[in-house]
Structure 1
Amino acid sequence: MEKPGFLWEPDEAFISNSNLKAFADHIGKSLLPYEHFHRWSFAKPKEFWSAVWDFANIIGEKGDGVLSRPEDGCMQGTSWFPYAKLNFAENLLRGDEKRIAIVEGDENGEYRCMSMGELRRLVAQVQTGLRSLGINRGDRVAGIVTNRIEGLAALLATASLGAVWTSCSPDFGPQGIVDRIGQVKPKVIIATLDYQYNEKTFDMGAPISTVCDSIDGLSTLVTIGNSSGLSNVNDFKIITWEELCDNDSSSPEFIRVSFKSPLYILYSSGTTGLPKAIVHSVGGTLIQHLKEHKFHCDIKPGDVMFWYTNTAWMMYHWLVSGLASEATIFLYDGAPVLKNEPGMLWRYAEGLRITHFGLSPKYLEVLMKQTYPVNLKHDLPQLRSVLSAGAPVSPEQFHWVYENIKQDMMFSSISGGTEIIGCFVMGSPVHPVRAGEISCKALGMAVDVLDDRGASVIHQKGDLVCTQPFPSMPITFWGEDGEKRYKNTYFVDRPGIWTHGDLAEQTNHGSIIIYGRVDGTLKPGGVRIGTAEIYRVIDQIPEIQDSIVFGLPNNGDEEIVLCVVTKDRNLDIDTAKSMRYKIRSNASPRHVPHRIYCVNEIPYTLNGKKVEGAVKSTVLGKSIKNHASIINPECLAEYSILLGREFK
């Protein structure tokens, strides 16, 4: 029976059979109440993280120490497992060689499977090929690749050598790619030369040539696929993927490195400047993902994981780590919704018996507006969890998931970021699901919400913070003054405390509500309002296809501006009045926009996030430093003349 306020609640069998319960039994501690268990996990970090290593059977040498903090107690200088030796790829390429490790699918509905034994052999061949190109420990290898097996094999081969992997999706465009991987000067680039998206074929030959000619120190380009537009201006070698793998290697060698050795370089969205190149460690990434997968997502050997993502988003790296829990991972290359097949991803979920399905609120919004009844069109008895990341999930979307996808399963909104390659708040197999709320604080993460005084607050909006160190904190930002830029980004507001940049609220039952980024927070009358509160209302209006909200200064105060895309590209006075009424009734009078404009398009980052800051800067006549981070920057021209237009 569903309790009042609960959309789903785990029964005793679900809890008893969970990895989280097994972990609590393993360490001899009571799992419930969870708040006590969570408090122990960050109050006793040495005990907790050492137990995670043991329970997850991390392959490697743990060493004697777990945690070493600098004398000043600063989070930034914390060292985890200082004597450990391990290899990331070795931990992912584990388990029975006959089990299916990877399934790869595309827009045509075609897929191929690869066993763990086949994946190991492919990784061994790529490793030998990279070695022949001079790749050693610490060198950077960049992938401009789609979400297919070749890119994953290249990532694992790079990690097996103790080298550093960084990747971009081909659709970023030449400048967007150079702004990212150009910072870290890779020795080798592995690039997809042609791909299909939304039933259209794209030739990447000329863009890849432009990128490679702009990268200092590049020695070799490895090409996947065919192109007529590829050229070579600078002095670097070009070989094909087949030539890279043309050897008899059958078993990869794993170079074990220290826990804090670099593994990945990920990039911030970069809409306010050059993207930050964030360096993540081998051990921190592995142990954080194992904790999240096993304990919070309840992933077990034989499960099938999927997340709709590209190779640039953090969730790609998060999905890849599912191999360490001996799950099968599904890689999808293509658009999530096709013109004649809006349920393509669910067709795969049904056919492949996916147990954990990852998506975004934007994708949910599309399904809702298309009134696509997943549960009526697809049989999903194996589905145990749907997860969402990238933006806040509205209460209405929570309800829609349970009404239209599946009732008996765990829906988890999760939140963290590229900066920590993981999550601060998540779901869990022991928590009920409440609409609009993230179920719990992640284990090992000392998460809190602080007001402007630095006091912890409940049922009040404040800054999401983490008050104790955790293993997946970045090593540094790549480049000059990396340590200083890292410190100024997360520790300048509250010395010694990680301030994440999210506006949040914690409830008296331990859940968290995320309202959006602090830099996008609205402050009419000095009251902090998250843009998600307005989007929640607007998204329920059938006439509105998309929207964006931002604030403009007005005589020492701030007024809210709302821009909407309508079906007929027109907005009448009555619809505008109705929108204001609904916002006033469902949010508050302070949420009501002063101006409402009808626009043709909403700008998004390459990772699918609305760029409120770029719109505000454009309206105010300020320059946008990095158009390459926006997937449709041409639409900003409309916003540059917004204030001269009539509003409703």
Structure 2
Amino acid sequence: MDRSVLWRPKESAFRESALARFARHCGFDPADYEELHAWSIADPGAFWSRLWEFAGVKGERGAVALERDPAAEMTGARFFPQARLNIAETLLAGAHPDRAVVALDETGARDELSADALRAEVARVARGLRAAGVVPGDRVGVVLPNRIGCLVTHLASLAVGAVWTSCSPDFGPTGILDRIGQVNPKVMFVQPRVRYGGKEIDLTEGLADVVGRIEGLESLVVIGEGDLQVPVPVIGWQDFGSHGPLVFEPLAFDDPCYILYTSGTTGAPKAIVHRTGGVLLQQLKEHMLHGDLRPGDGFLWYTNTAWMMYHWAVAGMGCGATTVLYDGAPILKAADGLDCSPLWKAVETERLTHLGISPKYLSSVMEQGYRPGEAYDLSSLRWLMSAGSPVSPQQYDWMYDAVSGDMGFASISGGTEIMGCFLLGSPLHPVRRGQLTVKGLGMAVNVFDERGAPVLGRPGELVCTEPFPSMPRTFWGPGGDARYRKSYFSERAEIWTHGDHATLNPDGTAVIHGRSDCTLNPGGVRIGTADIYNVCAQFPQLEDFIVFGRPVEGDEEIVLCIKMADDARADADLARTIRGRLRTECSPRHVPGAIYCVRDIPMTVNGKRVEGAARSVVSGKAVANRGSLANADCLDEYADLSERTAL
């Protein structure tokens, strides 16, 4: 018996799942995923055409599926150059008729809209945008929490052909200006008062500062209470737009639909312009085929409105699933400690079939000793999913012990840059401890070593060697095309280099070891940060941790910083135990040269560790964009680490 296998699909999946039906639709045996995948990357035009048919995309596909440029095999590829379509039309056509969207928040409040009611609201706001002078290609910016109003602006902007771009309210004025300020939106939607973690937060002053400094802004729409004194016309949410028919603007496949932003931890955030058709096809493929999302399912991904997972989750509407939104903290303070129940309560009350979380959330819940499967009826949950960073083997164990033994789990990996994934789950494959399940259909994923040779079973650089439709159109701003090519194609001509350190296994599974720019290199040997994090996660005394390299003469020293859990104590014995376990479970090269106890770990607003910022500060370098961090003040402590005695 293979003890690494935590879950196996039922035989019915090979008959009933969309992936099985799609395989047969294309002439393949559902049991032979490798053959299906090989065809999908050998003949991408045929694959994406079949997907368009199977997913029921609305619009005109045209006669040509893929135009290739022999001089630029990836950057010059054009999918469906004759197509005309609109994302919102396909998503709303698939919306669940009775419960298209449900909105929950941390107070327990609940709201829902049917498909007809949602379409009416989208039509109203779309008419308001057109009346405000918004035409295809104009930008619409939002600073909104994850509620129905944000979803309506999202779909209405897409309907009129505008480019929708968002920031979460927790970014702060500098973070918003660094992002939305780049792209000069014509209309903005904001909510001045929000709630998070039991606290009411008034953003009025900061939003007024932002609005006053955005060039080209012509209208501001305010949701909820708040009196903003700004130099542009202000309209209340209920007064914006008018009732009437919903008209979808037909767009070319490569016309822009979204602008998203990189984390900005190594400089100003890059504004990534995404293609209409590419985003739609990629995300429908991932939900329908890899995620097994079906009509009547309920899908909640815990995310803010700036992260790509928000856009990704909304696309599940096109599969006929109910989109469930959650606004607020996923873990709340309570009189007797922390309340980990909100998301799991939502699974029970909404009968969710799919729940998406992050490894950071998993760590927090595990530290509390919480067992949601004993607290709530989770029998409706078919799939638990995670994204954002690698999931440790211990977290796999916890999920199948404390949540449910009868569900699939998908650790998915891709990026904001592609609005999708390179590695995903599959309803036709077993879940293996610590492994990502399969390469995405249509994605020519490989791992190259330092020679540029493909390798199996050992770490290297994650690459994609064939074009796919959700590659960015460009970066916004002067020299955008050149900056885009430099970011992903400069290391290997016409091969997408993603920036992840990974291993592809002979059985088709994969492991992500961490970001390549955060890879440790002691003695010239590359080590992924995830290897060290997986061991640290075994220590309940540690609330969080971060590892990075510190230059020493002619080499690099591994530095591990640990944040202690309440009532836990950092001392030499703990440091010795951590080093011993790393030596035993990984290798002597994984053992940190220095371990320090710190008050906090630098994080992005999406909860990702920022190893590069810690490394820069410890090395005496400036951090390029502190405004991209949720807690930049904690870096001051790191600047003094070299003066302290390590554990």
- TM-score greater than 0.5 by the shorter chain: yes
- Which secondary structure state, in structure 2, belongs to the residue aligned with residue 77 of structure 1? coil
Between the aligned partners of 2:629 and 2:94, the Cα distance in structure 1 is: 41
- Which amino acid in 2 is paired with 1:34? Y
Between the aligned partners of 2:2 and 2:591, the Cα distance in structure 1 is: 33
TM-score by length of 1: 0.98
Q: Cα offset for 1:30? A: 2.0
Contact 2:62-2:80 at 8 Å conserved across structures? yes
- Which secondary structure state, in structure 2, belongs to the residue aligned with residue 64 of structure 1? coil
Of 392, 412, 417 in structure 2, the residue corresponding to residue 394 of structure 1 is 392
Question: Paired residue for 1:72?
Answer: 71
Q: Cα offset for 1:565? A: 0.8
1:273 maps to 2:267: yes
Question: Paired residue for 1:576?
Answer: 575
Of 459, 470, 473 in structure 1, the residue corresponding to residue 471 of structure 2 is 473
Q: Cα offset for 1:95? A: 4.3
Of 549, 557, 560 in structure 2, the residue corresponding to residue 559 of structure 1 is 557
CA deviations on 1:140-168 (whole Å, 9 max, x unpaired) are 00010100001110111111011110000
CA deviations on 1:489-540 (whole Å, 9 max, x unpaired) are 0000011100000000011101110001000000111111111111111111
Between the aligned partners of 1:647 and 1:296, the Cα distance in structure 2 is: 46
Question: Paired residue for 1:117?
Answer: 116
Question: Paired residue for 1:284?
Answer: 278
Question: Paired residue for 2:296?
Answer: 302
Contact 2:253-2:278 at 8 Å conserved across structures? yes
| Segments of 4+ moved more than 6 angstroms | none
Question: Paired residue for 1:238?
Answer: 234
- Which secondary structure state, in structure 1, belongs to the residue aligned with residue 93 of structure 2? coil
Contact 1:97-1:117 at 8 Å conserved across structures? no
- Which secondary structure state, in structure 2, belongs to the residue aligned with residue 331 of structure 1? strand
| Mean CA deviation greater in 55-64 or 559-568 | 559-568
Change (3 A) 1:362 1:579: same
Between the aligned partners of 1:635 and 1:306, the Cα distance in structure 2 is: 32
RMSD: 1.1
| Mean CA deviation greater in 519-528 or 93-102 | 93-102
Q: Cα offset for 1:584? A: 1.0
- Which amino acid in 1 is paired with 2:367? K
Question: Paired residue for 1:216?
Answer: 215
Between the aligned partners of 2:393 and 2:191, the Cα distance in structure 1 is: 39
| Mean CA deviation greater in 8-17 or 84-93 | 8-17
Of 225, 248, 252 in structure 1, the residue corresponding to residue 243 of structure 2 is 248
Contact 2:501-2:512 at 8 Å conserved across structures? yes
- Which secondary structure state, in structure 2, belongs to the residue aligned with residue 60 of structure 1? coil
Q: Cα offset for 1:26? A: 1.5
TM-score by length of 2: 0.98
Question: Paired residue for 1:359?
Answer: 357
Contact 1:619-1:640 at 8 Å conserved across structures? yes
- Which amino acid in 2 is paired with 1:259? F
- Which secondary structure state, in structure 2, belongs to the residue aligned with residue 448 of structure 1? strand
Question: Paired residue for 1:28?
Answer: 27
Between the aligned partners of 2:287 and 2:341, the Cα distance in structure 1 is: 26
CA deviations on 1:344-391 (whole Å, 9 max, x unpaired) are 110011100000100000010011110111110111111110000000
Between the aligned partners of 2:4 and 2:488, the Cα distance in structure 1 is: 35
Between the aligned partners of 1:88 and 1:602, the Cα distance in structure 2 is: 39
Identity %: 50
- Which amino acid in 2 is paired with 1:76? T
- Which secondary structure state, in structure 1, belongs to the residue aligned with residue 333 of structure 2? coil
Of 407, 417, 420 in structure 1, the residue corresponding to residue 418 of structure 2 is 420
Between the aligned partners of 1:574 and 1:355, the Cα distance in structure 2 is: 45
Change (3 A) 1:97 1:106: closer
- Which amino acid in 1 is paired with 2:474? T
Structure 2, unpaired ranges of 5+: none
- Which amino acid in 2 is paired with 1:306? L
Structure 1, unpaired ranges of 5+: none
Question: Paired residue for 1:200?
Answer: 199
Question: Paired residue for 2:380?
Answer: 382
Between the aligned partners of 2:395 and 2:360, the Cα distance in structure 1 is: 10
- Which secondary structure state, in structure 1, belongs to the residue aligned with residue 75 of structure 2? helix
- Which amino acid in 1 is paired with 2:475? F
Contact 1:142-1:188 at 8 Å conserved across structures? yes
Question: Paired residue for 2:522?
Answer: 524
Between the aligned partners of 1:275 and 1:475, the Cα distance in structure 2 is: 17
Question: Paired residue for 1:130?
Answer: 129
- Which amino acid in 1 is paired with 2:496? W
- Which secondary structure state, in structure 1, belongs to the residue aligned with residue 119 of structure 2? helix
- Which secondary structure state, in structure 1, belongs to the residue aligned with residue 330 of structure 2? coil
Question: Paired residue for 2:160?
Answer: 161
Of 478, 481, 484 in structure 1, the residue corresponding to residue 482 of structure 2 is 484
Question: Paired residue for 2:618?
Answer: 619
Question: Paired residue for 2:174?
Answer: 175
Contact 1:569-1:600 at 8 Å conserved across structures? no
CA deviations on 1:569-588 (whole Å, 9 max, x unpaired) are 75211111111111111211
Between the aligned partners of 1:505 and 1:606, the Cα distance in structure 2 is: 28
Contact 2:298-2:324 at 8 Å conserved across structures? yes
Contact 2:254-2:473 at 8 Å conserved across structures? yes
- Which secondary structure state, in structure 2, belongs to the residue aligned with residue 211 of structure 1? helix
Contact 2:436-2:509 at 8 Å conserved across structures? yes
Aligned residue-pair number: 642
Q: Cα offset for 1:627? A: 1.0
CA deviations on 1:268-303 (whole Å, 9 max, x unpaired) are 000010001001111000000111011101111111
Between the aligned partners of 1:273 and 1:69, the Cα distance in structure 2 is: 34
Between the aligned partners of 1:462 and 1:79, the Cα distance in structure 2 is: 29
CA deviations on 1:54-91 (whole Å, 9 max, x unpaired) are 00111000100000112303311211100000011101
- Which secondary structure state, in structure 1, belongs to the residue aligned with residue 6 of structure 2? coil
Contact 1:570-1:598 at 8 Å conserved across structures? no
1:317 maps to 2:315: no
Contact 1:569-1:599 at 8 Å conserved across structures? no
Between the aligned partners of 2:96 and 2:379, the Cα distance in structure 1 is: 27
Contact 1:490-1:500 at 8 Å conserved across structures? yes
| Mean CA deviation greater in 92-101 or 16-25 | 92-101
Of 344, 347, 360 in structure 1, the residue corresponding to residue 345 of structure 2 is 347
Question: Paired residue for 2:437?
Answer: 439
Question: Paired residue for 2:151?
Answer: 152
Question: Paired residue for 1:503?
Answer: 501
Question: Paired residue for 2:332?
Answer: 338
- Which amino acid in 1 is paired with 2:306? A
- Which amino acid in 1 is paired with 2:558? I
